[in-house]
């Protein structure tokens, strides 16, 4: 068993991202909603997740949210708003990270859809801090 947990992220084309942000079960997303349903998975738009994190921090006190400054700078940057508006994290059973075998199964099922017009890229991330970006010093 791996000591790390994993997460699948996908980027969608502009049209599909707009649809998914409004209704991730929309049939115009082809096989994606069915794959997610079989895996008890849901899509969460990364820009929306970042904005929700900032709103929660502002409500509860930003001093309790170590990534607030970095996340706020990200959502305030128009280029990053566009970038993260196309990016989606896949949650499984309501969890944003999960066992490697679950991530591997999702990756295997989604990979054939990459580059076919809807999903432009797919990445599997782990919780190993050495593999994850850290906020710049001025945003800590």
Tell me what the mean pLDDT of segment 48-66 comes to. Answer: 95
3-state secondary structure of 15: helix
pLDDT band at 130 (very low <50, low <70, confident <90, very high): confident
| Whether the predicted pLDDT of 1 surpasses 60 | no
pLDDT tens for each residue of 15-56: 999 999 999 999 999 999 999 999 999 999 999 999 999 999
Q: Where are the beta strands (DSSP E) in the chain?
A: 6-12, 41-45, 87-92, 119-126
pLDDT of 97 above 70: yes
Q: How many angstroms separate the CA atoms of 8 and 52, rounded?
A: 20
3-state secondary structure of 132: coil
User: Using the 8-state DSSP alphabet, how is residue 67 labeled?
Assistant: T
| Residue boundaries of the structural domains of the chain | 6-128
């Amino acid at each position: 068993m791996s000591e790390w947990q994993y997460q699948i992220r996908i980027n969608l084309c502009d049209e599909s991202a707009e649809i998914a942000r409004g209704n991730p079960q929309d049939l115009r997303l082809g096989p994606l909603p069915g794959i997610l349903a079989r895996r008890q998975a849901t899509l969460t738009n990364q820009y929306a997740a970042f904005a929700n994190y900032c709103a929660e921090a502002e409500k509860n006190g930003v001093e309790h949210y170590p990534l607030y400054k970095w996340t706020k700078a990200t959502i305030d940057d128009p280029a990053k708003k566009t970038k993260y508006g196309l990016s989606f994290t896949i949650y499984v059973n309501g969890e944003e990270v999960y066992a490697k075998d679950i991530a591997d199964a999702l990756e295997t099922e989604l990979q054939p859809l990459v580059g076919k017009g809807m999903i432009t890229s797919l990445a599997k991330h782990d919780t190993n801090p050495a593999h994850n970006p850290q906020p710049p010093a001025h945003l800590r």
